[in-house]
Structure 1
Amino acid sequence: MNKPTSPYVNRDLSWIEFNRRVLEEAQDPDNPLLERAKFLAIVSSNLDEFMSVRVAGIQDQMKAGYTKRDFTGYTPAGLWKRLMKRTDQMVTEQYRTFREVLRGLAKEGICFRPIEELSAHQLKAVDEYFRDIVFPVLTPMAVDQSRPFPLLRTKELYLSVILGRENMPEEEEPYFAIVQVPSILQRFVSVPGRVNSKKNEFILLEDLIERHINNLFNGYTTIAVDPFRLTRNADLTLNEEGAEDLLEEIEKELRRRRWGLPVRLEYGKGIHPYALQMLKEELELGENLFEIDGPLDLSFLMRFASSLPQYESLHFERIEPVYPQEFDQSDDMFAVIRQEDVLVYHPYESFESVSDFVTEAAQDPDVLAIKMTLYRVSGQSALVQALAMAAESGKQVTVVVELKARFDEERNIAWARQLEKAGCHVVYGLVGLKTHAKITLVVRREQGVLRRYVHVGTGNYNDNTAKLYTDIGLFTAHPVIGADASALFNEVTGYSSPYEWKAFGVAPSDLKQKLFSLIDREKAHAAAGKPAHIIAKMNSLSNQEMIDKLYEASQAGVKIELIVRGVCCLRPGVPGLSSNIRVISIVDRFLEHSRIIYFRNGGEEEVYLSSADWMTRNLTRRIELMCPVFDARLRKMLINVLRLNLDDNKKARELQPNGNYEPVHNELPVLRSQFQAKDIRIWKT
């Protein structure tokens, strides 16, 4: 086997491979059809974010004339070319899969129809829908000398309209106009069924608008109508040092984000040449153009698939989260946690236990204070309501709200204002650092002394994503963890000299060094002939120093098993470099989100939960948390969870030295870790 030219995989090329694994789920015939449609939607949403953040950043470097190679050996221009080629290939494959899924759905009686195939009865119904609902919302925008090219919003769907007049000379340029497809309306329009048919039929909203386009341009002849969509640079550029009010500064940046520089233009196949010329000239986009053979922006398929719950066989079997049995036997959560630490594994166990913990604290007269970090919160959060209730009842409530949680900024601003009105002490974190740690501290008076109760999680305090992501939560009253939790909040909310953490590893102060020392300890065990083994589960691994440290450990004889769902810049299995390292990725119905780290430690096993991926931003530019699990029984549960992942031979793909992923194949019985984990006895015993 030839040794790769670079010891590292490029981060952005690794991300493309991750999104390809999502696409493979849409292509998997073993997945139900409507779930395959959802995976197609996720591919589109992922690409939108990738283009608006990562590719936008690369294009900024190119415009600035930046030519330095990154640690994987790529210049911005060279990387951009490879990314565009691979993205183009992926989009072509995505739409081929889309057509395959549509054919499968049609066999099940779910059909998207071209308008010309509708019956007279159906046409009458959709025409009424256009007249009553769609037409009043539309705004035609002509472009001429008196009406400049309109500001187009990012990731919105538009129609370019080429128009002519009667007896117009051939040499005269046609008229150009734009119509926005209103995102406030559903993209798919249900059509009344045909006589004696049980099929569910739909048309696309843009097709309906095109049918009636002449209603918007009376007196003109329609020459061509074509869909297009613009993606703009969405990265926030904040001057936090100079921002007197971070809340207001972020609100201003969010308004500017809608009009960031164009990054990508998508347009329908066969677009009129004059329309494409106008768009390219006005948007100043010579490159990064994608001709799409199908409906633009397949993210609408997520809502579409969810609108058809009656087709049970076309969805995954429902998994109902169970309430954790430790809390199910008692009305007093604090009494349970005093007696034993409790581990909760979402989505197999209910997030309601976390909401109940905060609600019980809010209602308990013996609770004096509640402190909590909020990064991404759901639309109707019981947690926020409980925190507000606690503050209104006179408790000390401190909430660290991260305003810079990408694409959730507006929602977090709304929660921050609501909590402030209720009397909570709202803190927006530290300048230059995102607060990404997930922790809740409850201080309770018990028989004249104060006791601290802590919840530490690997995922956000969000009841919606807790049904879709796999995450771990730990409830504990351990005094060392409680003391560290108090110190952490003091550092974030006030002036505090550096604290010597007893249990936690905290970024950016010492988490990386703590991990390095734990890895070095495994190296020492290997050198002494003792068992040396590291298992780490995370979303992404891209920090060069961390990768080099793992390479050192591999060369020292430490067995390393990594479960990295997304980006992985480490090359496993390279002789003389990483021959003791195995990397797998699992993409399945739930988003693998938990961060769990295991060290064999010569037989004295240690397990940690963390909010941090092993990326440079997590280790150096965020407030992150790594918490030990002291209870041996819970450590065993977490090792069981890791072992389930490592034994997966249905959805696991293994990273090869060349940066590609291949399905795991072995002669063992089929094991799909997410389906096994729903039987809680498997990992709790």
Structure 2
Amino acid sequence: MTETKDNSDVIEEVSLDNPALYYNRELSLLEFNDRVLAQAKDENIPLLERLNYLCISCSNLDEFYEVRVASVIQMAEMDPHVTACDGLNAEEQLKVIGVKAHKLVSEQYRVLHDLMIPQLAEEKIRFIRRGDWTDQQRQWVKKFFHEELQPILSPVGLDSAHPFPRILNKSLNFIISLTGKDAFGRNSGRAILQAPRALPRIIRLPKEETGGGEYDFVFLSSIIHSCVDELFNGMTVKNCHQFRVTRNSDLYVDDDAIDDLLNAVEGELAMRNYGDEVRMEIDSKCSEETVNFLAARFGITDDQVFLVNGPVNLSRVQEIVGLVDRPDLKFIPYKASIPAQLSRNKNYFAAIKKQDILLHHPYESFAPVVEFVRQAAVDPDILAIKQTLYRTSSDSPIINALLKAARAGKEVTVVIELRARFDEKANITLAAKLQDAAVNVVYGVVGYKTHAKMCLVVRKEGKKFKDYVHLGTGNYHPKTAQFYTDYGLFSSNKELGEDVRKVFVQLTSLGKVTKLNKLLQSPFTLHKGLMAKVEREIEFAKKGKAAKIIFKVNSVVEGKLMQALYRASQAGVEVKLIVRGICSLRPGIKGVSENIEVRSIIGRFLEHTRVYVFENGGNQEVYAASADMMSRNMFRRVEAAFPIENKQLKARVLSDLDCYLKDNSQAWIMQSDGSYVQSVPEGDVFRVQNELMEQYAVK
């Protein structure tokens, strides 16, 4: 790499505390959703995959309101004067969020009606509207309603004896206007009907009974609309409109008042479906009077009301992707490879003892991680297995291997994070299952989520004990490993094994922080370590030496790190940020961030790897990590960043990053105002994920 000019006399002083230098994290997250939705409009992507992207953008928006908007609303109530990094207080944030979110939702429904539905119809995948049903279809729908729906539907007429029911979070509901009187002479004029959550939201019409096509579908809401009058015998249904309420779903566990973390989380889970209302979606044909009635009932403001032209639970349209057997409208299946060192050597411990082995998922299979734990479970020389679990599948073969190891008498310790958002219930069940098999289960440290991805296996070899470790950037989840990009490292390095063992002691026992050899660990050394390495690059640049930083992460929000990167840019350090989602740092600001480029890759796989690269005067340092550039990762979680030291493996990671920086099709470049512009190839198209699939493909 060529040396840069001497920048020791740089630039006039600029206050890096100026809010104008930062972009609001909530708006940045909505920008990410815009990029996801753009995939639904990309004609180069198979049609059913495009539909999938549309639905992902909708489910992302659900979570955005459940967690992020909910927290801003709470801040507005608790301390309205507190401002975000861009200087906006909570009320101001809610206003700009409302404007941007409404634009996003309008575009989602435009994509559904103008692109998805017509193009799916061309492929003979049809959503049949009520007005277009044939007599045969209408008869089948009526029969389906009577046999499958009516027995489990429970409409509630609103009056003094029937108060407004508790509406479950994100459930499908109907508000019904009625005339006439029932058997008791009552009628308040309104009723509420909740659709049971167990019911599918899209129903396939059987070809042989309805005379239609193989892939003709109707929405559950259409069936209920068409037959709703049968639920109110002797009364007249004037109007029936669907609506859905999104609630605050973030669990609140008071760390200072916890005696039993498991009981505390279980107690909060029971209330998740009934948190404060943060958004209402309702049929756009609904009268203003009814909309206002519901908004008042839920205590939400106009900017939290979304009038939608179509199903209110748009994310459930995703069911279609699994119901339609059309491989030509989906991505070509990809077969992940296995590194030669592991495919040639059946004994994983012998292979890892020879050299470190790096896995790059999903291009390389997650199966070796499962096999590593499985072999540890059956190897008579393995004495102990220690593992962290943040998210995993309920039927994970890793869990089965851990259970087998415990039953074989091995010392098995699992650190389960009970507060992994939206996986809390699954993790509570998993903890009980492991404890029943005599696994030593701990829940980490109160006040700090355990987010590090680590597995330690202790093997007796002769008269000595040897540590084998797996460290990763992603979860021990075999299913998500098929479409999340992540790195995993196998190593028998003595110092690395010692570090991992020390971290497990911290998590399971009590004691002072001990010095680590190689790992950078939150909440103790990771932030300090990264800051020091950025400052080192600044010093190299000031001396006129080559200086470069590459971070590939999911989010960049933490204030001190952003300021350090601004200082690096001012000093002449080349800064390349590959950020999937939120980025509050603004690139390209004169005198501040001219040397910073921020790009986001959106493709077939969800970018999830966290990698930190420092030029270090030509002696490049490469770390992979579980942590993003966020305050929570740096100070409120247990995280691990591990060095990639093997020359070949380091070169592989750097080559992968070069591919990300060369992408001219899936890359979106962040502008200084926080918006993104998609790269347009000037010559040959280069898509990083396609390139890596080719590189790692089974030969």
Same-fold call, TM > 0.5? yes
Is 2:30 aligned against 1:16? yes
Q: CA contact under 8 A between 2:39 and 2:53: conserved in structure 1?
A: yes
Is 2:328 aligned against 1:304? no
2:189 counterpart residue number: 175
Q: Which amino acid aligns with 2:356?
A: D
Aligned with residue 376 of structure 1, among 391, 410, 414: 391
- Give the Å deviation of 1:635: 0.3
Q: Give me the whole-angstrom Cα distance separating, in 1, the residues matched to 2:606 and 2:182.
A: 59
Q: Which amino acid aligns with 1:302?
A: Q
- Give the Å deviation of 1:421: 0.7
Give the alignment of 1:290-439 within 5 angstroms.
Answer: 290-308=306-324, 310-439=325-454
Q: 1:513 to 1:682 in 2, by over 3 A?
A: farther
Q: CA contact under 8 A between 1:67 and 1:77: conserved in structure 2?
A: no
Q: Give me the whole-angstrom Cα distance separating, in 1, the residues matched to 2:139 and 2:179.
A: 28
Q: Which amino acid aligns with 1:394?
A: G
Alignment deviations for residues 89-114 of structure 1 (CA, whole Å, 9 cap, x no partner): 11001100011111100011000011
2:68 counterpart residue number: 54
- SS of the residue 1:539 aligns to: strand
Q: Give me the whole-angstrom Cα distance separating, in 2, the residues matched to 1:240 and 1:293.
A: 43
- Give the Å deviation of 1:666: 4.7
Q: Could you tell me the TM-score, scaled by structure 1's length? A: 0.96
Q: CA contact under 8 A between 1:111 and 1:199: conserved in structure 2?
A: no
Is 2:435 aligned against 1:451? no
1:506 counterpart residue number: 521
RMSD: 1.9
Aligned with residue 594 of structure 1, among 605, 609, 621: 609
Aligned with residue 530 of structure 1, among 538, 545, 567: 545
2:284 counterpart residue number: 269
Is 2:591 aligned against 1:553? no
Alignment deviations for residues 272-323 of structure 1 (CA, whole Å, 9 cap, x no partner): 3443243123212233111011111211122211221x21221111112223
Q: Give me the whole-angstrom Cα distance separating, in 1, the residues matched to 2:426 and 2:365.
A: 24
- SS of the residue 2:364 aligns to: coil
Unaligned runs of 5+ in 1: none
1:539 counterpart residue number: 554
Q: Which amino acid aligns with 1:88?
A: H
- Give the Å deviation of 1:324: 2.8
1:635 counterpart residue number: 650
Q: Give me the whole-angstrom Cα distance separating, in 1, the residues matched to 2:486 and 2:403.
A: 26
Unaligned runs of 5+ in 2: 1-14
1:492 counterpart residue number: 507
Is 2:689 aligned against 1:674? yes
- Give the Å deviation of 1:417: 0.7
2:6 counterpart residue number: none
Is 2:39 aligned against 1:25? yes
1:71 counterpart residue number: 85
Q: 1:392 to 1:166 in 2, by over 3 A?
A: closer
1:611 counterpart residue number: 626
Alignment deviations for residues 591-610 of structure 1 (CA, whole Å, 9 cap, x no partner): 00000111111111111110
- Give the Å deviation of 1:329: 1.1
Q: 1:371 to 1:166 in 2, by over 3 A?
A: closer
Q: Give me the whole-angstrom Cα distance separating, in 2, the residues matched to 1:325 and 1:134.
A: 54
1:461 counterpart residue number: 476
Aligned with residue 190 of structure 1, among 180, 199, 204: 204
| Count of residues in Structure 1 that have an aligned counterpart in Structure 2 | 678
- Give the Å deviation of 1:191: 1.1
Q: Give me the whole-angstrom Cα distance separating, in 1, the residues matched to 2:555 and 2:19.
A: 22
Is 2:154 aligned against 1:139? yes
Q: CA contact under 8 A between 2:154 and 2:193: conserved in structure 1?
A: yes
Q: Which amino acid aligns with 1:592?
A: E
- SS of the residue 1:299 aligns to: helix
User: Which structure ranks higher in relative contact order (CA pairs < 8 Å, sequence separation ≥ 6)?
Assistant: 2
Alignment deviations for residues 313-340 of structure 1 (CA, whole Å, 9 cap, x no partner): 2111111222332211121000100011
Q: CA contact under 8 A between 1:555 and 1:580: conserved in structure 2?
A: yes
Q: Give me the whole-angstrom Cα distance separating, in 2, the residues matched to 1:178 and 1:321.
A: 49
Q: Which amino acid aligns with 1:609?
A: A
2:8 counterpart residue number: none
Q: Give me the whole-angstrom Cα distance separating, in 1, the residues matched to 2:442 and 2:211.
A: 62
1:280 counterpart residue number: 295
Identity across matched positions, percent: 38
- Give the Å deviation of 1:409: 0.4
Q: Give me the whole-angstrom Cα distance separating, in 2, the residues matched to 1:525 and 1:347.
A: 36
Moved over 4 A (4+): 194-199, 681-684
Aligned with residue 518 of structure 1, among 517, 533, 549: 533
Q: CA contact under 8 A between 1:584 and 1:654: conserved in structure 2?
A: yes
- Give the Å deviation of 1:63: 2.4
Q: CA contact under 8 A between 2:394 and 2:430: conserved in structure 1?
A: no
Q: Give me the whole-angstrom Cα distance separating, in 2, the residues matched to 1:626 and 1:275.
A: 53
Q: Give me the whole-angstrom Cα distance separating, in 2, the residues matched to 1:221 and 1:198.
A: 34
Q: Give me the whole-angstrom Cα distance separating, in 2, the residues matched to 1:668 and 1:522.
A: 34
Alignment deviations for residues 181-201 of structure 1 (CA, whole Å, 9 cap, x no partner): 222121111113388864521
Alignment deviations for residues 11-39 of structure 1 (CA, whole Å, 9 cap, x no partner): 11111111110111111121111111111
Is 2:584 aligned against 1:562? no
Q: Give me the whole-angstrom Cα distance separating, in 2, the residues matched to 1:679 and 1:595.
A: 22
Q: 1:682 to 1:34 in 2, by over 3 A?
A: closer
